[in-house]
Structure 1
Amino acid sequence: MSAWECDIDGCGERFDSVEDAIVHQTSEHERQECKVCGAVVPDGYFAIRHAFDEHSRAEYVRAYDANSSDVRTRERIRDEIEETADLKGVVSRLDLTGGELP
């Protein structure tokens, strides 16, 4: 059984590793415009990371009509990924310019 599932727009594709899921989300789904600042970022993990690293929780709640449960869910996903994933490996696989995460 696969441990990671892409939930972007009901995709449902399953992956054995979190790194495979992140690469899929970044390369197979459209990038999204941040409703707070207008930056265009890959959907999924990178969008969550952007929202909570670059903006306050209050900005996120207002811009996305979210609530505290939405925030906690996304923070839990981010934390679980960051505890598990080889993000440098993901950057290398995606051949991102400058070796930095989006």
Structure 2
Amino acid sequence: MPAWECDIDGCGEHFDSVENAIVHQTTEHERRECKVCGTVVPDGYFAIRHAFEEHSRAEYVRAYDADSSDVRTRERIRDEIEDSANLQQVVERLDGTSGTELP
């Protein structure tokens, strides 16, 4: 059984690898505008990563009307992905080149 599921807007598609799930989220779903700074980012993992690397938890909570449980859930998802994924492979698959920074 596939280990990774896309939960963007109830998508529900399953993937055998986290890399396939991230590529799907990046290419098959609309990009989202960050409510904190207005940057447009791919939905899913990259949106979570952007929110917590570029902004404080307090900014996230205020902009997204979130609570501490929402923050912990997204941080857990980010950590699970980063513990499992070969993010360089994801980048290479998305843009066809090596040595590129993550979105």
TM-score by length of 1: 0.97
**Equivalent position of 1:74 in the other structure:** 74
What percentage of aligned pairs have identical amino acids? 84
**Equivalent position of 1:43 in the other structure:** 43
What value does the CA root-mean-square deviation take over the aligned residues? 1.2
Offset at residue 100 of structure 1 (A): 1.1
**Equivalent position of 1:23 in the other structure:** 23
**Equivalent position of 1:62 in the other structure:** 62
State the distance in 2 between where 1:6 and 1:39 align: 22
**Equivalent position of 1:93 in the other structure:** 93
State the distance in 2 between where 1:96 and 1:57 align: 33
Does the C-alpha gap of structure 1 residues 55 and 96 become closer, same or farther in structure 2, counting only changes over 3 Å? farther
TM-score by length of 2: 0.96
State the distance in 2 between where 1:96 and 1:29 align: 19
**Equivalent position of 2:53 in the other structure:** 53
> Following superposition, which runs of at least 4 residues in structure 1 exceed 3 angstroms of deviation?
none
| Gapped regions of structure 2 (runs ≥ 5) | none
| Gapped regions of structure 1 (runs ≥ 5) | none
Counterpart amino acid of 1:100?
E
Counterpart amino acid of 2:78?
R
